[in-house]
Structure 1
């Protein structure tokens, strides 16, 4: 996706199935719905390559429209926040008819086809080592993205926060009083202050940290039980899963032992009756 710093660039509306006259007539009808909107013909909004020479994927039809409209909306509403600007343009886009959206879709499709050709040429120039390196970079990127997604999911499900060590509790309480003009300087000054604390002074924070561990264990126990109830066993810790398996095995073993004793007792009773008879 092209950066938003290119928002003053024009949208290319020329395609094989459209001539200049037909595109211009469509744009004229569009501007009657969105006054003062302007469009530039003949330019692509996609950046040619990234830093490593790989072609960048072009913007889709909506983002092309967003780029075109952004400068106009900002000029008309200088005090409007960025999120509100994007929301307003999104509402405008949703009101456009298929005919009014078509020039943006045509331009996006043309750039997409060109991107595919450029990507094939780029990949053909790569050596086997470079291909493997790119594949590894992609695996790492996907792993990082999945980790972030999972963290957001766990947060939304209310997973308890991990306990803080004593030093971190000290930092959180003393940060406003710390010396220094930036974060690094403040942390360094607090590290020195922590080292100078007497044993009984540190003990206060050590006790708070121990209490926080107890809090975390209790909250995690309740949270994991809730995850089992809603069918999200996949979110349990490995230790919890192992403990549940051991507990289930013990219950199964106890049931088998009880059943075996009952069976043996029944056989013994039956044999005794047979002997007495």
Structure 2
């Protein structure tokens, strides 16, 4: 996996309120769109483990949210934004349709070839948010969302030369529930705190050729679906520092998860996947 569940990190966002700049940006975006349509596509990739945005509005605006909350999904990026969205409930559904394939060449072990990993073509990723204003300066709410890159299912295993006759692949799904409280400390600044409650499921199959390199070959592959739960925290701030600029910043702690005991021979430290 390219990234851990929720590695500690600091994120900063900026929103410019200048109408002139917005018009210029729109013109630039149109020009880039036309150029993109005319240019050949040389490479494609997903955003990896983390989504570029949470909630339909945020994704429709290239993942904006740290400094410009859109709806009751704001706590997924910056809990301080919840106090600015008012009383509301939001729900959405993403249809994620990635293309997964691999090509191996120049391999001396007989693995050369093209392999299709699209065992499942469509992934449904729901989200839900609710926010309630206790008074004009205090809000409580909750954001519920999924996380993850994608699963891979190779009906024809890339490791068939090593005796793997079935499918090869991995599957990871995650659910985050973020109860949140946010408070306006001034008319232009707010802070927020979220408790990140997480549940994840994982399975792997067709990895038998790696058994000799595992600390526990019986807990490496083909053990069905395993699950673990955990928690962490996220704090945030957002503030209007001038008539033209709003800033936002968040810090997220590590989400401490239980171990995948059925895959203790695949993950380090006996199945650890924080």
Q: TM-score, normalised by structure 1?
A: 0.20
Richer in strand (by share): 2
More helix by share: 1
TM-score by length of 2: 0.21
